Structure 1
Amino acid sequence: MSESATGGSGQPARDERVQSGIPRLDFILQGGLKQGGTYALMGPPGSGKTILANQLCFNHIEKSGGRCVYMTLLIESHGKMLRHLEGMSFFRLGDVPEKIYYISGYQKVRDEGFSGLLELIRTTLRERRATVFIVDGMESAEQFSSTRQAYGEFIHSLQALASLLGCTTLLISNMRERTHVEHTLVDGVLELSDQLIGPRAVRELTVHKFRGGDYLRGRHEVEISSEGVSVHPRTEVQFAHPGEFAHEQRTRMAFGLPRLDEMLSGGLPSGSTTALLGAPGTGKTLLGLSFLLEGARQGQKGTYFGFYEPPPRLIEKAEDVGLPLERYVRDGTIQLVWQPPLEHFMDSLAEQLLETLRAETRRERRRLFIDGAEGFRAAAVYPDRMPRFLSALTNQLRSLDVTTVMTDELELFQPQLNLPTPELANVVETVLLLRYVEMRSQIYRLLSIMKMRESHYDTSLREFRISRGGIDVADSFRSAESILSGTGRIREEARPLLRETAKKTAKKKPAKRRRGGKKDGGGR
């Protein structure tokens, strides 16, 4: 133990922390475990306790140059455990046994009781100069205790020994009551859970106790992969206090569609968030890509974050309507981030998105297109979190000065506007609506601005067109009324004009359509 770590007096320095190196666990613990402290890690079999403890040891060796002792009180051999760990990226066989020493205490506690086990622990920790000590299988030690008091005295003696040596200790056991004697004596209690919520198997971490320090309360998502354990704090807790919003003069971020930009008084305010609502095929994706492409033409970086269309298909779709997406993807101006619609965790998706945006070292205005909000909703284990989640995520994007457009899918045909994510409209500054309307056996797409905070905007309805020549917004849509219901009616004053137009059309010879050809492009 170095003098700096002990404060020069043989005792641990005040509030010195031992970082676990496990992604975001130290953030939840507001810095890591306290040096010399004793902590309980509990959870059912399969929840990841052994992986987490070993990952902590190998990270501690690599990052802090520490030394670890891993003691098991289980019948299972160390060789079997090490074989299971060999597939983990953090595992380094070269650190065994010099830097991480595995030892069994099962036979000692069985034959000599707690006095013999404590002597073995004292001798081993001193010989190995351990800075982290793991005891795996505390339920076995409890089985050998004659009384509850005897077990409590053993925990107290172990805690005093670890504190004297400045060794941070983690006691691992299967699930048990939080009022258990072991949990009342230790400095902190961490619980790993593994449960079925509907058809999904969900692992979570909860910190129930952490003496002398602050921590993030509640349940946090846990993932286990070949990289080891990763913890994903709840987004609304992780970003409960967002940084200050950008104070630079706000500018307008245009879509590159003259009449739409005119309706928006020049474009969306920089650093704002916009909800783009519409039924399938109304053109939400193409309109969002147009927003990114206009920024790319001005030299602004853009990110596409989507769930349903892989990059090659997205590029093909854009190029079919004259949007040169591939060019800007190749030169790096636009980045495509695709998440296939599999089982994701909502907080993990938010972290990936924000880390992608923070990876840009230059502090500049960026554009973001999230296609669509239903991807987050599908990943939510607890749907009632969505309002707080979206509020925290959009606030964080604003603090990064990112101008965001986020789509959300409406039903194909519905008489009323029933938003699948009603809270989205409350947390954004602008709401754009794309709708279908049927008139005279023809289907039209309509675009309107439903809301735009702190800005003037045009409330008129415009036809939104998608063709091989590109996407465009018409001057107006004056011939219909009640179209927001999806059941447009011809206005009386427009009927003579429409009859005259119909006569002229009837006199013309109809164009011969190519077999299999398309009159109009499609868009999602």
Structure 2
Amino acid sequence: MSGSDTDDSVQPPRDERVESGIPRLDFILKGGFKQGGIYALMGPPGSGKTILANQLCFNHIDKSDGRCVYMTLLIESHAKMLRHLESLRFFRLEEIPDKLYYISGYKVVRDQGFSGLLELIRGTLRERRATVFVIDGMESAEQFAPTVQAYGEFVHSLQALASLLGCTTFLISNMRDRTHTENALVDGVIELSDRLIGPRAVRELTVHKFRGSDYLRGRHEVEISSDGISIHPRTEVQFAHPGPSAREQRLRMAFGLPRFDEMLGGGLPSGSTTALVGSPGTGKTLLGLSFLVEGARQGQRGTYFGFYEPPPRLIEKAEAVGIPLERYVQDGSISLVWQPPLEHLMDSLAEQLLEKIRADSASERRRLFIDGAEGFRAAAVYPERVPIFLSALTNQLRSLDITTVITDELELFQSELVLPTPELANVAESVVLLRYVELRSQIYRLLSVMKMRESRYDTSLREFHITPGGIDVAESFQSAESILSGHVREVRAAPRVRKAAKKKGAATRGPKGKGRARPSRRGR
């Protein structure tokens, strides 16, 4: 509730909200700002405060046919501000000054003090019939306050006026201490930050206070583009409570490779997540594309979400080994979503992926191939978030009944299997390992199913080949056994799986690079 001492009968209903229209900010605020409330928006220069306030005004006019007053104190001129806003898509010059009225209050507060400023505000809001009011540059007003108490009384009077008129008010200022008098009096405090984390410049939004409503706590990524400001709530908070699975009856989702599908008991269980792990060049991408193409053959829509190869190159690569990717891309059965190698925000990537999936919601069964997990890892500002992020993302995909295959890349040369994203093996129901083995100056590829929850699977290793005719998996483990029973030196393979529970320095089965080595045939 606001701190107004006026007649309660003129106050707006408690549950009435003013939506900001800013992507996902209203989600963070569980519906938007309280009508008639007063909110402090603070942050350092360059954090996006003025853009956010103007974007909110234009959105309010567009969605609610509201009327806004934007008052500036000692900041940039209106003409300069509008020139900067012109490049943003939400800006509409035709709304000024009828629906969005800019006014300066600096001379009045300088010459007449707070009483004169309050009179100007009261008269302007009533004359313009404003439903949203912004004061930009509150630190300038504070400089004219004779005492801290006088400034607090001014903010309190603004709060009473906003409540009386039902006008939602925003007080914009540079970064302040959260214990500041202003922040104690207002109905909500929102902070925009702009800081360096390593070499990256990161903008974030934090809601410190929001009276009368629940909200999403913590820091959320902020992106400023030609569309204005977008907020990206942390994925693990946004999808903390995924819905139930969309299907009770689980089907087998095959790869279209008969012998490999036999190893999987007919294919992957629908709605599950599978990790394909292996060194560069072992065939992870081709195996994932085979999974999508086989789904398209069965009338199931598929999505490729990758970070490395642009669509034309991906199609060329698939067609070269007999995977007819192009025809299914052209008829819309498979969508290729490529993220160029730029600096991304991890939560933004998850939102983009899920929005693409929801756009295909009419499809009965859907398949997803994420190539690869390290793309999310590279986008993480806080690496410690990756495990819970992946858990939240995969849980959300399961609730949408998406059968997901995601790759993760091992180091090219290593003596034992150390997953770069060990948390992926924990959240995935199945893990498939692709490995290289060198024997007598010849490189061989081996494939094994390391893990498959709630399902029978073949634990043997199989040799496989990538040829112009496609991916060919051996009929049995015998060729793999022949390779491994020779004088083997595994330069890119894993003679054993090192589990997290094992202590470092555990005894090995023999000196590296000498004698015979026989990898385990059973995963976790």
Same topology, TM > 0.5: yes
Q: For residue 459 of structure 2, what is the aligned residue in structure 1?
A: 459
**Could you list the runs of 4 or more consecutive aligned residues of structure 1 that deviate by over 4 angstroms after TM superposition?**
481-484, 486-492
Gaps of 5+ in 1: 1-7, 493-524
Q: For residue 262 of structure 1, what is the aligned residue in structure 2?
A: 262
In the TM superposition, what whole-angstrom CA distance separates every residue of 1:437-479 from its partner, at most 9, and x where no partner exists?
0111111010000000000000000012101121111122221
User: Hey, what's the Cα distance between the residues in 2 that align with 1:72 and 1:165?
Assistant: 20
Aligned positions of 1:213-362 closer than 5 A:
213-362=213-362
Aligned partner letter, 1:98: D
Equivalent residues of 1:346, 1:380 under 8 A apart? yes
Aligned positions of 1:436-515 closer than 5 A:
436-475=436-475, 476=477, 477-479=480-482, 480-481=484-485, 485=494
Q: For residue 146 of structure 2, what is the aligned residue in structure 1?
A: 146
Aligned positions of 1:109-258 closer than 5 A:
109-258=109-258
**1:400 corresponds to 2:400:** yes
User: Hey, what's the Cα distance between the residues in 2 that align with 1:288 and 1:142?
Assistant: 60
Equivalent residues of 2:75, 2:136 under 8 A apart? no
User: Hey, what's the Cα distance between the residues in 1 that align with 2:328 and 2:458?
Assistant: 31
The Cα shift of 1:284 comes to 0.2
In the TM superposition, what whole-angstrom CA distance separates every residue of 1:415-445 from its partner, at most 9, and x where no partner exists?
1111100100000000000000011111101
Q: For residue 505 of structure 1, what is the aligned residue in structure 2?
A: none
Equivalent residues of 1:67, 1:131 under 8 A apart? yes
User: Hey, what's the Cα distance between the residues in 1 that align with 2:464 and 2:134?
Assistant: 64
The Cα shift of 1:490 comes to 6.3
User: Hey, what's the Cα distance between the residues in 1 that align with 2:230 and 2:517?
Assistant: 60
User: Hey, what's the Cα distance between the residues in 1 that align with 2:296 and 2:364?
Assistant: 13
Equivalent residues of 1:38, 1:170 under 8 A apart? yes
The Cα shift of 1:245 comes to 1.4
User: Hey, what's the Cα distance between the residues in 2 that align with 1:231 and 1:485?
Assistant: 42
Equivalent residues of 2:72, 2:105 under 8 A apart? yes
Equivalent residues of 1:439, 1:489 under 8 A apart? no
The Cα shift of 1:15 comes to 1.8
Which 10-residue stretch deviates more, 68-77 or 451-460?
68-77
Aligned partner letter, 2:417: L
The Cα shift of 1:9 comes to 5.3
Q: For residue 74 of structure 2, what is the aligned residue in structure 1?
A: 74
Aligned partner letter, 1:478: E
Equivalent residues of 1:365, 1:401 under 8 A apart? yes
Aligned positions of 1:76-95 closer than 5 A:
76-95=76-95
SS of the aligned residue for 2:481 comes to coil
The Cα shift of 1:321 comes to 0.5
Aligned partner letter, 2:20: S
Equivalent residues of 2:239, 2:392 under 8 A apart? yes
SS of the aligned residue for 1:416 comes to coil
User: Hey, what's the Cα distance between the residues in 2 that align with 1:14 and 1:146?
Assistant: 35
TM-score using structure 1 length: 0.91
Aligned partner letter, 2:121: I
Q: For residue 521 of structure 2, what is the aligned residue in structure 1?
A: none
In the TM superposition, what whole-angstrom CA distance separates every residue of 1:370-418 from its partner, at most 9, and x where no partner exists?
0000000000000000010000000000000000000000011211111
Q: For residue 373 of structure 1, what is the aligned residue in structure 2?
A: 373
SS of the aligned residue for 1:354 comes to helix
User: Hey, what's the Cα distance between the residues in 2 that align with 1:35 and 1:218?
Assistant: 24
The Cα shift of 1:248 comes to 2.7
SS of the aligned residue for 1:478 comes to helix
**1:417 corresponds to 2:417:** yes
Equivalent residues of 1:220, 1:231 under 8 A apart? yes
Gaps of 5+ in 2: 1-7, 496-512, 519-524
Equivalent residues of 2:321, 2:471 under 8 A apart? yes
Q: For residue 434 of structure 2, what is the aligned residue in structure 1?
A: 434
In the TM superposition, what whole-angstrom CA distance separates every residue of 1:109-139 from its partner, at most 9, and x where no partner exists?
0000000000000000000000000000000
User: Hey, what's the Cα distance between the residues in 2 that align with 1:369 and 1:267?
Assistant: 15
SS of the aligned residue for 1:208 comes to strand
Equivalent residues of 1:439, 1:488 under 8 A apart? no
Q: For residue 11 of structure 1, what is the aligned residue in structure 2?
A: 11
Report the CA distance shift for 1:292/1:244 in structure 2 as closer, same or farther (over 3 A): same
Aligned partner letter, 2:494: S
The Cα shift of 1:485 comes to 3.2
Aligned partner letter, 2:473: V
Aligned partner letter, 1:485: A
TM-score using structure 2 length: 0.91
User: Hey, what's the Cα distance between the residues in 2 that align with 1:491 and 1:416?
Assistant: 12
Equivalent residues of 1:437, 1:488 under 8 A apart? no
The Cα shift of 1:11 comes to 2.4
The Cα shift of 1:341 comes to 1.3
User: Hey, what's the Cα distance between the residues in 1 that align with 2:448 and 2:517?
Assistant: 19
Equivalent residues of 2:300, 2:363 under 8 A apart? no
The Cα shift of 1:489 comes to 6.3
Report the CA distance shift for 1:379/1:318 in structure 2 as closer, same or farther (over 3 A): same
SS of the aligned residue for 2:367 comes to strand
Equivalent residues of 2:75, 2:137 under 8 A apart? no
SS of the aligned residue for 1:111 comes to helix
Equivalent pairs counted in the alignment come to 485
SS of the aligned residue for 1:407 comes to strand
User: Hey, what's the Cα distance between the residues in 2 that align with 1:312 and 1:369?
Assistant: 17
Equivalent pairs: percent with the same residue? 80
User: Hey, what's the Cα distance between the residues in 1 that align with 2:514 and 2:190?
Assistant: 59
User: Hey, what's the Cα distance between the residues in 1 that align with 2:326 and 2:413?
Assistant: 33
User: Hey, what's the Cα distance between the residues in 2 that align with 1:26 and 1:464?
Assistant: 51
User: Hey, what's the Cα distance between the residues in 2 that align with 1:420 and 1:307?
Assistant: 17
User: Hey, what's the Cα distance between the residues in 2 that align with 1:421 and 1:42?
Assistant: 37
User: Hey, what's the Cα distance between the residues in 2 that align with 1:391 and 1:31?
Assistant: 26
The Cα shift of 1:363 comes to 4.8
Report the CA distance shift for 1:375/1:455 in structure 2 as closer, same or farther (over 3 A): same
